[in-house]
Amino acid sequence: MTTLTRNPGTRTPRLPRTILNRTGPGRTGRGDARIALFFIAPAMIGFVLFYLVPTVRGIYLSFTEYNILGDPEWIGLENYEAIAKDPLFWNSLAVTGQYVLLNIGLQTALALGLALLMHNVAKSTIIRGALLLPYLMSNVIAALLWFWMLDYQIGVVNQFIEWAGLPRAAFFGSEEWAIPTQALINTWRHMGYTALLIFAGLQSIPGHVYEVAKLDGASAWQTFRKITIPLLRPVLVLVLVVTVIGSFQVFDTVAVTTGGGPVNATRVIQYYIYQRAFTESDFGYGSAIAVILFLILALVAFIQMKFLKGNESDLD
Amino acid sequence: MKKMKATGALAAAAAAVLALSACGGGSQAEAGKGEISYWLWDANQLPAYQQCADDFTKANPDITVKITQRGWDDYWSTLTNGFVGGTAPDVFTNHLGRYGELAENKQLLAIDDAVEKDKVDLSAYNEGLADLWVGQDGKRYGLPKDWDTIGLFYNKAMLASAGISEDQMKDLTWNPEDGGSYEKVIAHLTVDKNGKRGDEPGFDKNNVQVYGLGLNGGGDSSGQTEWSYLTNTTGWQHTDKNPWGTHYNYDDPKFQDSMKWFAGLADKGYMPKLETTVGASMADTFAAGKSAINAHGSWMIGQYTGYKGIDVGIAPTPVGPEGKRASMFNGLADSIWAGTKKKDASIKWVEYLASSACQDVVASKAVVFPALKASSDKAAAAFQAKGVDVTAFTEHVKNKTTFLYPITDNTAKVKGIMEPAMDAVVSGKAPVSSLTAANEQVNALFK
């Protein structure tokens, strides 16, 4: 018996208290939580004050009639019913969709090309930095600069077009061109930044997979299609989620150039929200559209993450 | 969306601040000294009003005025945020298209008592201007500061080379059927790439070098400078009564015929297509030699006559089918925010702005026409001294050929409906009959 009790194997191991806390059943680790809360607090306060409270209030306002100077009056689902029947709301969805397709399609393709160039050809920091320049400019300044350069009557671009023997184009004024023009301007502004994100993704692909591909005699196109794209997928998905959300929220370019016109050709959803809420003092209606946009964006992001498997990497 | 939400929170915080400040007000609310804030949107007028403010402080050493100028585009939204956030200016320049809504939402201070007590002579203002600022509740919400009418700015050199005399410009006639002599002049002033004029055979309407008439835009609900100087010569009015009408008349055949003629000008190549006017301002394109005549407001005199190398004349708007000219008569006023903490000082400043002491200063700068009759004459003289004949604008007031800017409720919503509707018509994308449906939408706002 005595020998048995002396057996070191049966002795309770002396583990540090913290580990016991973490693994012990029924314990919650209050000490850590307090420290964690301390570090989370700054972000948390900002999140609650500037995101959570306004979002909840926005959702509440979407069920009211509210002109900001009076008191909100509860009207249930009336705003949503009116929106469903509002041709301008459906128009704004279509216009925004058109913008997003053009903007994201072009921007992602161009950014991918630029990133490949940065990765394989342009290794100079100055050239890589120069690609970011348009992004450093404020949206409003970029929009106004192009607004002047593309002006029909006295814009420099139309002067060149005329010298080339082509007819002048009303880039912002015609219903056909207004959205493509703005999509292109923002593509120009954002593609450098998007390229930088993709470039970072390219750098995380280990070099040895390329060496193996070379040994196997893969062509450049095969390497790109079978190695680069699959291994880049998690980064591409992230970039797409972020840029698509940003693209849906296009506002400043429209606000400083066409203001929703010609007719309703650029009345994008964010501008329509602004118009109803701030110009026409219908904050309840504006909030309701904002809630719908919120739901649309959540759905789009969910679909992208789900079907493009953004949280898995083929490297594992 | 972020912006929206943030504003929601601000609004909540602001409401709390408002509630608190309302409790703590008391004796302070009547304060007759300290610094008061004043907002205006026209940068051209800033120097004149800065001088008024300096003179005012000289006469009232315990009151200073801090003037802030904000561009028209964000003036009203900043002001609204200020009302909610408690940071609105004590006194601000107010517009006829906006004040109805502000008064209804109790953001404006009624100043009847002060006007009566201080014996402000309302008959000294140009006729009708003072009455504009009496709200639907019969209370006065502002004292008039200036007025404007519409005229035709023309390029003298282009007129000379077309062989059109300036006297001819003074006697233009217009009607919605064939456009009268106004259309003839516009056609003759239009020149295509090959040098052919708009009324000559072989004129190429798709390659126009100089348009006879410039275009500012579709004109949304009021058509202030775009078409109202024509449509309202036919006896048509925007609303059933003015001010405070409750029914708009965009479905009237008289109006639609006039708009049909107007939109037709672009089709004939005499006026730029609407899509080509998005961008540079109409005045700048005029200065670039792209149009020969521009119909515009009197507040633009300084800009048009300020361009170097262009000799500009101003003609009155054409005489319409009923034998009279017509011009929208718009007037601004200074109003006091209901939430001001310096009520007495603000009233003093508003009365000073509306007095001859300040309006004569404004007149001497020759930028706008002050509301006081005597100061108006001084402004005309100041323009004359600068070499600008402004009879085209003053004549409307003298001959009583003005009509008022349409003052109703829901003006922002009416504009929201009419802007795309008018754009569609003026750009030729929709027939004028489409305005009937837009009109129904507008009138539904008043039910």
Nearest CA to A184 out of A104, A128, A276 is that of: A104
User: Is there a domain that residue A206 lies in?
Assistant: yes
Predicted pLDDT at B264? 95
Alpha carbons A311 and A302: distance in angstroms, whole number:
12
Does the beta carbon of B233 lie under 8 angstroms from any beta carbon of chain A?
no
Predicted pLDDT at B186? 96
Are the C-beta atoms of A103 and A247 separated by less than 8 Å? Answer: yes
User: Is there a domain that residue B138 lies in?
Assistant: yes
Substitution target from A139, A168, A272, A280 for chain B, most B beta carbons within 10 A: A280
User: Is there a domain that residue A78 lies in?
Assistant: no
Q: Work out the minimum CA distance from A200 to partner chain B, whole angstroms.
A: 28
A286 and B4 in contact by Cβ < 8 A?
Answer: yes
Predicted pLDDT at B230? 96
Domain co-membership, B160 together with B284: yes
Predicted pLDDT at A5? 42
Mention every residue, 6+ apart, whose C-beta is less than 8 A from residue A87: none
Report the predicted TM-score, pTM, of the whole model to 2 decimal places: 0.82
Domain co-membership, B256 together with B244: yes
B279 and A151 in contact by Cβ < 8 A?
Answer: yes
Q: H/E element holding B189?
A: helix B180-189
Domain co-membership, B285 together with B174: yes
Are the C-beta atoms of A202 and A115 separated by less than 8 Å? Answer: yes
Domain co-membership, B221 together with B75: no
Residues 6-35 of B with CB under 8 A from A: 6-9, 11-12
Mention every residue, 6+ apart, whose C-beta is less than 8 A from residue B354: B120, B143, B144, B145, B334, B371, B372
User: Is there a domain that residue B424 lies in?
Assistant: yes
Q: Work out the minimum CA distance from B54 to partner chain A, whole angstroms.
A: 33
B1 and A293 in contact by Cβ < 8 A?
Answer: yes
Domain co-membership, B230 together with B273: yes
Which residues of chain B, if any, have pLDDT below 70? Answer: 1-30
Domain co-membership, B189 together with B214: yes
pLDDT of A13 higher than 90? no
Residue of A nearest to B423 (CA): A263
**A25-73: per-residue pLDDT in tens?**
445 556 788 898 899 999 999 999 999 999 999 999 999 999 877 789 9
User: Is there a domain that residue A53 lies in?
Assistant: no
pLDDT of A130 higher than 60? yes
Nearest CA to A147 out of A99, A186, A101 is that of: A186
Where are the alpha helices (H) located in B269-372, listed in sequence order? 282-287, 301-306, 343-353, 356-364
Are the C-beta atoms of B320 and B119 separated by less than 8 Å? Answer: no
Substitution target from A263, A266, A273 for chain B, most B beta carbons within 10 A: A263
Domain co-membership, B384 together with B437: no
Mean pLDDT for all residues in chain B = 89
Chain B residues within an 8 Å CB radius of A57? 5, 8-9, 12
Does the beta carbon of B363 lie under 8 angstroms from any beta carbon of chain A?
no
Nearest CA to A297 out of A249, A258, A253 is that of: A249
Domain co-membership, B134 together with B75: yes
Are the C-beta atoms of A273 and A51 separated by less than 8 Å? Answer: no
A281 and B5 in contact by Cβ < 8 A?
Answer: no
* Domain enclosing residue B367, as ranges: 26-148+330-404
Alpha carbons B188 and B192: distance in angstroms, whole number:
11
User: Is there a domain that residue B140 lies in?
Assistant: yes
Residue A162 buriedness (CB in 10 A; 0-12 / 13-18 / 19+):
exposed
Chain B residues within an 8 Å CB radius of A174? 275
Nearest to B84 among A68, A170, A262 (CB): A68
The HSE-up count of residue A188 (CA atoms within 13 Å, CB side) is 15
User: Is there a domain that residue A224 lies in?
Assistant: yes
User: Is there a domain that residue B197 lies in?
Assistant: yes
A270 and B12 in contact by Cβ < 8 A?
Answer: no
Predicted pLDDT at A207? 87
Predicted pLDDT at B12? 43
Predicted pLDDT at A310? 66
B65 three-state secondary structure: strand
Nearest to A67 among B105, B284, B419 (CB): B105
Nearest to A290 among B1, B9, B279 (CB): B1
Domain co-membership, B193 together with B144: no
Nearest to A153 among B2, B288, B427 (CB): B288
**Tally of structural domains, chain B:** 2
Domain of B255: which CATH number?
3.40.190.10
Predicted pLDDT at A278? 85
Tokens for B395, please give them.
């004549």
B280 and A153 in contact by Cβ < 8 A?
Answer: yes
Amino acid symbol at B256: Q
Domain of A257: which CATH number?
1.10.3720.10
Domain co-membership, B236 together with B215: yes
Mention every residue, 6+ apart, whose C-beta is less than 8 A from residue B136: B100, B103, B104, B244
User: Is there a domain that residue B14 lies in?
Assistant: no
* Domain enclosing residue A113, as ranges: 84-307
Chain A residues within an 8 Å CB radius of B277? 152-153, 173
Q: Is this complex scored with an ipTM above 0.85?
A: no
Q: Work out the minimum CA distance from A51 to partner chain B, whole angstroms.
A: 7
Domain co-membership, B240 together with B161: yes
Q: Work out the minimum CA distance from B73 to partner chain A, whole angstroms.
A: 9
Predicted pLDDT at B6? 41
Residue of A nearest to B206 (CA): A167
Predicted pLDDT at A247? 94
Does the beta carbon of B419 lie under 8 angstroms from any beta carbon of chain A?
yes
User: Is there a domain that residue A250 lies in?
Assistant: yes
Quote the percentage of chain A above a pLDDT of 90.
53
Are the C-beta atoms of A104 and A240 separated by less than 8 Å? Answer: yes
User: Is there a domain that residue A201 lies in?
Assistant: yes
User: Is there a domain that residue B361 lies in?
Assistant: yes
Residues 372-391 of B with CB under 8 A from A: none
Q: Work out the minimum CA distance from A140 to partner chain B, whole angstroms.
A: 14
User: Is there a domain that residue B269 lies in?
Assistant: yes
Domain co-membership, B52 together with B125: yes
**Tally of structural domains, chain A:** 1
DSSP string, B307-325: STT--EEEEPPPB-TTS--
Chain B residues within an 8 Å CB radius of A154? 280, 284-285, 288, 290
Average pLDDT of the residues in A249-253: 93
